[in-house]
Every structure is written in C-alpha cells, then in structure tokens.
Structure 1
Amino acid sequence: MALKIWMNAGLVDEADAKVSVFDHGLLYGDGVFEGIRVYDGRVFELAAHIKRLFDSAHVIRLPLAMNRQELGEAVETTVKANGIRDGYVRLIVTRGTGTLGLNPLICKNGNVIIIADTIQLYPEELYEKGMRIVSATTRRTHPLAFPSQVKSLNYLNNIMAKIEALDSGVPEAIMYNHEGFVAEATGDNVFIVRDGVVLTPPVEAGGLAGITRGIVIRLARERGIQVVEKNLTRYDLYVCDELFLTGTAAEVIGIVEIDGRHIGEGRPGPITRLLREAFDNYARGRGQ
C-alpha cells in the first residue's frame, strides 16, 4: 500500500509528494531534519525531537511555517494514517524554492515533509554477538565550519565516513575531530566502559546531542553507574572493556571489534546488555 506523506498543509499520496528541483534543500542541502522512532504506536520522545528541530532551524535562520504543537500533531497524524505501530518517522524542513544561486533569503515556500514507514534495523544477530567497526580517515567537520549540534540535510561528512566503513566490510565507522578525539560514529553516538565507568565524548567534540544518548546516560545513572563526559582517543577505544553505540535507529548496540582489535571478551559486555535492556523497556513503556 502506498504511503501517505505529509506535505506542508496535509497528507498526500506518496506519488504526489514532490518538491521543486529549485528547492535549496535539494540544490544545497539547505534544511534540517529529525529521525524519530515509533514504538507500539507511540511516537518516541516527540517533544525532544521537535525542540531539536527548532533549535537547528534557528541556528541556520530557517523559518518554520508551523509551530511546535502543529508540527507534533502533524507527525501523529502521519503515523496514524500509515498504520505504523513500530517504525520510523523522517521529519524534514527545506529552505524552499529559490534560484541556482546560494542566496537563501530569496527562497520561498519552504517545505515541511513527514514520512512515516517501517525501518530496517541491524539484524538481531548483531545485537546478540556484537558489531565490528573501523576508524574513518574522514575527519568530523570543524566546529568553526559548522556546528555538529545542527542536524542538517547536508550529511556528506558522515556519508564519506560511511563509505569507508562499507568498503571495509563493516556497517559503521568512528569519526574523529580535528584534534584526534572521538566525535561520533557516522550515525550514532559513542560510549565506552572502563573499570565499570561509562565514558562518552562531550557534544563539543563534534557529535550530535543524540536523544537516545541522553536517555541512556540518564538510565545508567539511575542504576548507579557512573557516567563521565570526556574526550576520548583511539587508544581509549582500543583498550576499553566495552564499547557501544546509541542512536534512534541503532538504539543500543555493542561493538566487539574496532580496526581489527577485539574489545573486552569479544562479545557485548554486561553494562552494554543492561543498558540495552533498560532502553528497550523505557522505549516500550515497560517501566524502569
């Protein structure tokens, strides 16, 4: 069955969901987006995602035609119209139609697009046995070039690192910043465990302020696990006891090898497994 897509003022058939070839979202990646999960028919952390979208739009001076409540209602409407029980929402705001020049201030009719569909997660086997990853040579964009906290439509920095991962036969890669510190993976935040302490790079190192990241930090602390935000190096990843990634699509997934070096005992460790279970319970409303 064809999807129903939200386009600006309401739902349209998938075949009718179109934007102009002169939209600066297409021409220049000028826009912002959010990826949001749906669990058991409930849109997960919707308010937090919409806040981050508005923050991103504010930073790039992108006006939105809808307020936060209207946007939230549009997301809910789109999810229900497509009968999504467990799935994924892509919420997109583009700059709108302009010219072939860069000037964004002449763009008109910015688009609000909402897609609700099922999602292809990593195979269950990877959650049980753990994932192999590599370090990317592609450096995270310098924070003075563009702030990593903005979730923009221009994802080429991450895509180039993703290509490195795929060329190496693995699904993910770690990206480092201009100082050599861990920033993030191509689509996920990074955590390690050393001597029972959970460590994760600060957002200032070049990673996105992930919604899942924040929840996992809170869930860990509620369970008496110390969490410290600090700069991490490649060495730290090589010698840690556990390594895991968090993200909207990935949720919590353990890493068992990086750059040919085994992590811990070669399988997801106890804290990784505990936090994966805790997050799953929280996301599906099963309490703490």
Structure 2
Amino acid sequence: MDKQALYINFNGELELLGDDKLSVARRAMHYGDGLFESMHAFGTQVQLFDLHHKRLMAGMKALRYIIDDKFKKQQLAFEIERLLKRNRQFGGARVRLTVFRNAPGLYTPASNDAAYMIETSTLPNKFFKLNDKGLSIGVFTDLRKPINYLSPFKTCNALLNVMAGIFAAENQWDDCLIINENNLIVEGYHSNVFLYREGKLYTPGVESGCVMGVMREMLIRLAHQQGINTVELPGLTEEELLSAEEIFLTNAVEGIRWVLAYKNRRYFNRVSVMLNDQLNTTLFAKHINNI
C-alpha cells in the first residue's frame, strides 16, 4: 500500500509536502529569522491553544513582525484543523506552526511582513502518556543560554539546543539540562524542568532565561489545584538537583517525563504520576470516559 501523501498549510493554502514552497522561507533558514510553536492535537483540536497563541503573539511583537488578520487565534485554529483533517490525523498529533519574516533583504529585512507554515505528524499516543522508564539526564555546560527579551520564545535559531541534544546522545543520556549565563540550570534542551522536594515544586522563573513553556504554565496551575505550591527561582544548582525527591521535564507535545537518574542519584515519580493523571483528566476527560 502506498504511503499516504502529507500536506502542509502555507499561509492558508494546503500544499503537498515536498513542493518547492520552502524557498520563500529563506530568511528563516538563512538567518534564523523566525519562531515556532510545537503543539499537541487530538481530534483535530490543539490542546492549550490559548496559551500557545498568547506566546506566539508576544514573540511576534518581540521580533517586530506585522501581525495581520491571518494570525488571529480563530483563523490559525481553523487552518490547523483543516490540515489535520486533510492529513487524516484524528488521534494524537504533533503540530508545528512556524512564523517567519516574509521579506527580501540580508541582515536588514525590506519589511516586517510575516508568513507562516503549519506541519503535522502522527504521535504514538492519543493522550499524554508518562514514560514507563525514568530518564537519565546530565548537564550541558559547553554553551550558556543568554538572558534577554527573546529567551522566553522558541526561535528558529536553536543551535544551543541542537548541541545540547548531541551532547546528551554522546553521553548516552535521555536528555540534558542547559545552564544560563549565570551558570544556573534553567531548562532541558526541549523542555522546562521541575524539582519536587518536601511538598513543594521548584522551577526556574522566566527571568532566568528559560522558555516560557505552555506546559510549564499548565502544570503550575494543576499543582496549585492539588495544594502544591510552586517556587520560581533564578535557576537551579546541582546541589538542588541532588537533594530533590523528584525531577520531571515538561513540554507541550510530550506532557510530563519523569527523571530516574542524575549521576548516582535516583528519584521517585509519585508526584509526576499524579500530575500526569490530572493533566489528562483536565484536557481529555470527555474522550477518556468514552474509551
């Protein structure tokens, strides 16, 4: 059976993946002049889309992009749904929305007009499934994440994250943490990081330079509902990692991933399990009850 052809959504037009549409996105490729949202969808609807759109608008303003009607929340949600239907992805799906400056010019663009591209791919699970085996993690120290007004956003210039991912693979870790310019741990290479100790959660605050994670914000809300307060810090130290009872990583596509090992330290996952259950109940209750 032939593999199903996949489509992308390019500025509201459905195009076969592989058509030569990427050439118009050359500023994003040449200069990293873009930003993106990675999202989880189920049943053609994106979870936490309000938070994703809020962060996207803040990032576009920070990059001086012109925000016209095609970037309205309802319009983007419609275009994502249309693409998921066209690709027949009705279970769990990853959605990537990339926005870039759509203008000629070298380092100085001729205008601040913006365009977007939406891509989708199928996920193995419909809902957020906690990892069965805990992660082994380390810390990447070769490069440091700067703290500035672009730090909270997921920009197309992600070399630090790429190098951290390579470093993790070279050391046979499942993930690794990134440090900021103050030598404090602020996030994973594609996630936010939380510690649990003595009834409280600890996580780097946005002022630390970490990504303003959508799932991070959701988990802070859910923890509060469960009577667990979250302390936001300028960053985390290795001593705080080693004294934690639990460590878990969060992102909008995978939800929560719990950590088993850092160096010789081993961790539990009781709070991770509880929050993951609460997350699925909050976002998918109607669908879970129908299974």
Calculate the TM-score normalised by the size of structure 2: 0.88
SS in 1 for 2:247: strand
Q: Name the counterpart of 1:278.
A: 278
Q: 1:223 aligns with which of 223, 226, 230?
A: 226
SS in 2 for 1:37: strand
Q: Partner amino acid for 1:161?
A: A
Q: Partner amino acid for 1:62?
A: Y
For structure 2, the residue ranges without an aligned partner over 5 or more in a row are none
Q: Name the counterpart of 1:71.
A: 76
Between the two proteins, what is the percent identity of the paired residues? Answer: 28
Q: Name the counterpart of 1:90.
A: 96
CA distance in 2 between partners of 1:161 and 1:96 (Å): 29
Q: Name the counterpart of 2:120.
A: 116
Q: 1:249 aligns with which of 249, 253, 265?
A: 253
Q: Name the counterpart of 1:157.
A: 160
Q: 1:194 aligns with which of 172, 193, 197?
A: 197
Q: How does 1:173-192 map to 2 (within 5 A)?
A: 173-192=176-195
Deviations 1:182-240, CA, capped at 9 Å, x for gaps: 21100000000111211111111111111111111111110111221123211101121
Deviation of the 1:22 alpha carbon: 7.1
SS in 2 for 1:136: strand
SS in 2 for 1:23: helix
CA distance in 1 between partners of 2:237 and 2:15 (Å): 48
The structure carrying a bigger strand percent of its residues is 2
Q: Partner amino acid for 1:51?
A: K
Q: How does 1:48-67 map to 2 (within 5 A)?
A: 48-65=51-68, 66-67=70-71
Q: Partner amino acid for 2:84?
A: V
Aligned residues: 278
CA distance in 1 between partners of 2:243 and 2:36 (Å): 35
Cα distance change on mapping 1:221 and 1:179 into 2, 3 Å? same
1:80 paired with 2:81, answer no
Deviation of the 1:116 alpha carbon: 1.7
CA distance in 2 between partners of 1:142 and 1:108 (Å): 25
Deviations 1:116-156, CA, capped at 9 Å, x for gaps: 221368xx998122100111013442114x53112211111
CA distance in 1 between partners of 2:205 and 2:147 (Å): 13
Deviations 1:102-123, CA, capped at 9 Å, x for gaps: 112x1587431011221368xx
Q: Partner amino acid for 2:27?
A: H
- RMSD of Structure 2 on Structure 1 (CA): 2.2
Q: How does 1:260-279 map to 2 (within 5 A)?
A: 260-264=263-267, 268-279=268-279
